[in-house]
Amino acid sequence: MAGYSILETKIDIPQDEIDHFRQMLTITRFPALPIVPGADEDRSTYGTKLSDFKDAKEHLLSFDWRLTLRDTSGRWNHFLVEIEDAQIHFVHEKSKRADAIPLLVLHGWPFSFWEYKYLIEPLTNPPAGQPAFHVVLPSLPGIFLSSIIPNKQHSTPDVARVFNTLMVDVLGYQTYGAHGGDFGAINLRQVQLNHADTCKLIHFTGFPAPRPVDFTDSDMANLDEVDKRVLGRSIAFQTFGLGYLHMQTTEVVATLGYALYDGVGMMSWVVSKYRSLMLSCKVPEEKHEQVWMDQLVNVLLYQYTHSSHTSMLMYKQSGRKYIFEAFGKQPNKQGCPMGISSFDGEIMLAPQPWIKAAGNLVYYKHHPEGGGHIPALVLPEELVGDLREFFAANWTKASRLASHL
């Protein structure tokens, strides 16, 4: 579009970067024993098992990065564009269908565009009778080939504005829908509140709405069993799983980022997140190896693009104001309609009544079979089905309503 120069690019990692990381992994030493006796059996107190780190090292040493590189560059179209002095990387896969819905898909941390690898083809090329999508999958600022926004005061609303610019001004989609979980959901909350004139529907897998002020103890007691389970899992995560967030939202974020800059440090930092997510989302035995490797690919993507440290900056720049508080009820701001897919084991989701108090909830579906925080990797078919169902039922109505505003 006018004013923006889009550069098509291929993912090309220099061999010396690959060799360097393999060398670092090869010489890495681990303690002979866990930090204290029994630590490997008590993740909630001491974190990930020592054996998990050793296993991750062996998997990464045996990983055929060149094969994955050819697969990635050959299957998807990668682009770079400069928006507000930031370089933004994005995958853009267009459907052949004339009635396809533009869909902005945002990943979380510590992930990348790779998180949604199983969704691109079925969304762009669906069976007859199902909605089709033009998939736009950017890398969040500071991750992979996307640079940080060069303003130390930037925060989540700025990221939302950049991605709205990408969809509307760069790619020319006058209206679009969106999907995201984890930090993708955090950014999309700001899209929902501030860009409802162009973003017509948003589908979330995470929505940590706070308890409404008028939600009584009696209301709490009357929550159904699904909502009680959802709330219990969220409380457990906030109690035992937010150590990394507290560090990455404080002044030590640079210290932490520099310490973990080389790949082995970053591997150690995020492996604990990956293992915890797998434990909570009921990964089928036959998918265990695949999901484990799909997560570890992100370590390589961060390492080879030197973005381990900048990937954490989003936490510091957003703080609790945008990570949690923004999901509460916003005066005079309903935002665009939204749908929720609740995958059992999700760690940042609120009960339905709390979500309804924070926005226009028009779709909700619970998946007791699992999926947790990473349904795109664990249960991609179910997530694709929900997206089709949600947009098929609501897109035309949302677009028609918007045209009369």
Pairing of strands 176-180, 199-204: parallel
Q: What value does the CA radius of gyration of the chain take, rounded to a whole number of Å?
A: 21
Residue 371's beta-bridge partner residues? 344
Is there a cis peptide before residue 110, judged by omega within 30 degrees of 0?
Answer: yes
At residue 405, the 3 state secondary structure works out as coil
Hey, how many other C-beta atoms are within 10 angstroms of the C-beta on 240?
13
Catalytic residue among 134, 244, 373, 386: 373
- Nearest-5° Cα angle at 268, 263 to 270: 95
Specify the DSSP class assigned to residue 268.
Answer: H
Give CA 245 to chain center in angstroms.
Answer: 15
Give CA 403 to chain center in angstroms.
Answer: 30
Spatial distance between the Cα atoms of 202 and 195, rounded to a whole number of angstroms: 11
Spatial distance between the Cα atoms of 232 and 245, rounded to a whole number of angstroms: 19
Per the annotation, the verdict on 214 as an active-site residue is no
Spatial distance between the Cα atoms of 335 and 322, rounded to a whole number of angstroms: 15
Per the annotation, the verdict on 373 as an active-site residue is yes
CA-nearest of 348, 341, 356, 355 to 391 is 341
99 burial (CB, 10 Å; 0-12 / 13-18 / 19+) is exposed
- Nearest-5° Cα angle at 306, 317 to 86: 50
Catalytic residue among 158, 182, 227, 386: 182
Catalytic residue among 309, 315, 344, 386: 315
310 and 258 Cβ atoms separated by less than 8 Å: no
The torsion defined by the Cα of 253, 188, 205 and 224, in degrees rounded to 10, comes to 100
Per the annotation, the verdict on 182 as an active-site residue is yes
Q: List residues with catalytic annotation.
A: 182, 315, 373
